[in-house]
Each structure stands twice: as C-alpha cells, then as structure tokens.
Amino acid sequence: MALAGKQISRATQVAGRRMAAVRPAMATRVSRSARLNTVCKVHKICVLPGDGIGPEIMEVATKALTVAGGKEGETFEYKQCLIGGAAIDATGKPLPEETLEVAKQSNAVLLAAIGGYKWDTLPSAQRPERGLLAIRAGLNAFANLRPAIVPRQLADSSPLKRELVEGVDILIVRELVGGIYFGQPRGFGKNEKGERIGYNTDVYSEPEVERIARVAFEAARKRGKRLCSVEKSNVLEVSQLWKEVVIRVGAEYPDVELSHMYIDNAAMQLLRNPKYFDVIVTGNIFGDILSDEASMLAGSLGLLPSASISGSGPGIYEPVHGSAPDIAGKDLANPLAMVLSAAMMCRYDLAIPKVADRLEAAVNAVLDAGLRTADIYKAGTPNTRLVKCSEMGAELMKHL
C-alpha cells in the first residue's frame, strides 16, 4: 500500500481548525483555558475508562498523553471515576454523584466506552447508557462534533470502493441533550385494549434547535460553506419545527448553502455519494445513527474521535466506537481513536495544541509504518503488520 506522509496529522489538524470555530462561545472558552494555563501547568482530567475495552484503550491514551505533555512541559492530574456498567456494579447507579461532581471540577473529561451484554437485562433507567446520557446533560454538552475523515493511508480498509471514500471529509453536528432520548413522557403502560406498550417522546424547543443550528452554520462557514439539515418533516411535527427554525437561522448565514434531506435518504446518500456532504446537522437519534454510519466510511470505528461540548465548562472527549465486550480483555482493541480523542481535548479544552500535534504525529507515524490492529488490518496488503492493542501503544511511545 502506498502510504501518504502526515496524512492523518493533516486531516485531524484541518478538522480541528474547522471545528474550533463551531460555536460562538468557543473563543471565550479557549481564552479562559489559556489564561489558566499561564498560571498553572497542571491540567485536571476526569478519566472514565468505563466498560469492555475501555480500560485497555484508556491506559494507552493516558500514557501517551503524559509522555507528549512532558515533552511540552505540561502536566496532567488524572482522577479516575466510575461510569456505566462498572459504576452499576460498584454503586448501583450508572452515574454516581461523585463522578459528575469530579467532571464538573475538571478541565476536561476523557471517556472511553460504556455498556456490555452483562447489563442488557436491566431496566432501561438503570442501564449503563443512562450514565452517558446523564453526564452529557449534567455538563450541558449539547453539541456533539463527529468528524468522518478517510485518510489516504486507510482508504483501502473501507467497505466501499476507494474512489467513493478517498478524500471524504464530513463533520456531523448532532444535538446531544434533547430529542427522543430525553423527552418526557416516557415509559411503559397499557393501551385501550389492555396491551402492554412502551413509549418515548421526541421533543425539541425552538431555542434548542437554534443553538445547535448556529453551531452547524458556524462550522460550515469555516469549511466548504455547505450545510445539510437532516430530519423527517414529511411525517413528524418535531421535524417540521426543526426545519422551520433551521431555515430561519440560515437567513443569518447567506454565505452558507443550506439543503434539507430526510433521514432515510441521508442514510442512503452517505453510502452512495458521501463526498456530497460537508456539514450535517441533525437531532439526537438521527445523529446517533448517521455518525456511526459515516464513521464506517473509514473502515473502522476505531479511528475516529469525537467531542461533546457546551458553551462553558468541560467537554467530553471520547472515541465514537462502543465497548466491544466480545474482545474485551483480549488485547485486540484499537486505541488510536482514544488517543486522537485525547489530542482533540488538548487542542480545544486545554489549549495546548503542541501536545495535540505530538499525539497526532505519533498516530500518523504508526500508520505510516504499516501497523494495523485487527479492525483495520486487511490480509495481503503490502507493508502492513497485524499488532495487538498493547503493541500499538508501545509503538506510539517510541514515536513520542
């Protein structure tokens, strides 16, 4: 395979620069972090390893972060807390109060993954996923930014043809603390026939749609100036409100080309013609689905970081993949998305871009060297070698 030098670093840095402008409050927040950094070089990080492969990839990421920070004179103070299934086992709650309090007092939150088969039979209100929803709401992390970038190095790892995915650079802006995951009423009951039912409410207020729309328009303005709003306004009243508000906000951004697409068509077009998209803005449940689909354009969930941010306070930085309980403890996980999530954290919440540069360069170097974990390994590809999670971590350290 022909490998492109510094492809990952350039891609992540370009995405980072674009993402830095996605919210009006970002400049204020970065300036605040920068002022704090001039006084104290210790960055307080709330570390949430979670479940499944979470502890394995978090170990690699924090070691890499410590080494990269040391090269730039930066020090990290890690406070590890429980969330998800691990928290349920220890405390009976998916998000203990102590965890949320530590997160609020930190400069940033680094989260690996939650959930697993062990807890699938619990009542919905007690399952690990409720912890993730609760910490997002508790930190008011309303905007989820998920880049889907296909670097030249890994275009052949995609399940789609190389010519369809090479050069894809999409940013999905997902509203994160509203919609059907948080709407009330929700629960179980019986209908008029006495049959048991389950129900959820998909609801958005105008202010909620306005603030996520502004994030998306600001992002598009700094990228290709194209924004696609995804909803289902042909059948859902909540989507009709969404579309109406997005159009109204769009009038303030005449330089951004606004288009609209139903969720079913958007899911199809992501596979048929992914290069059509620049920035996508959508609600919670649709964004959940589309961002995972888009991340697979690169061939694996194990490569892509994400950020969940608010106008103030700490953001949550996590890989887009799940806890992968089937491979947990087997040293097979890909730690690169976790490392890149740490890099994203350094760039935006901590305002130490040189540390982010070092982490991204190390990731780029191991990929250029042909190292591949099982999720991105393709047998028969020249100049590549299958490695375990710990081996990938050790190679990262060499390049740091």
Q: Given the residues 51, 204, 232, 253, select the one marked as catalytic.
A: 232
Report which secondary-structure segment, H or E, holds 44: strand 42-50
Q: Given the residues 51, 169, 181, 202, select the one marked as catalytic.
A: 181
How far, in Å, CA of 27 to CA of 257, rounded? Answer: 24
* 288 in active site: yes
Q: Given the residues 89, 120, 264, 326, select the one marked as catalytic.
A: 264
Q: Which residue has the tokens 């300036």?
A: 31
Helix (H, G, I), strand (E, B) or coil at 63: helix
Q: Which two tokens stand for residue 83?
A: 């969330």
Q: Given the residues 169, 202, 288, 375, select the one marked as catalytic.
A: 288
* Contact criterion met (CB below 8 Å) for 229 and 194: no
* 169 in active site: no
* 264 in active site: yes
Please tell me the total number of residues recorded for the chain in this structure: 400
* 117 in active site: no
Helix axes 97-104, 128-138, angle to 10 degrees: 40
Spatial CA neighbour of 138 closest among 74, 81, 195, 65: 81
Q: Given the residues 292, 354, 377, 388, select the one marked as catalytic.
A: 292
Report which secondary-structure segment, H or E, holds 284: helix 284-295
Q: Which residue has the tokens 């700094």?
A: 222
Active site residues: 181, 232, 264, 288, 292
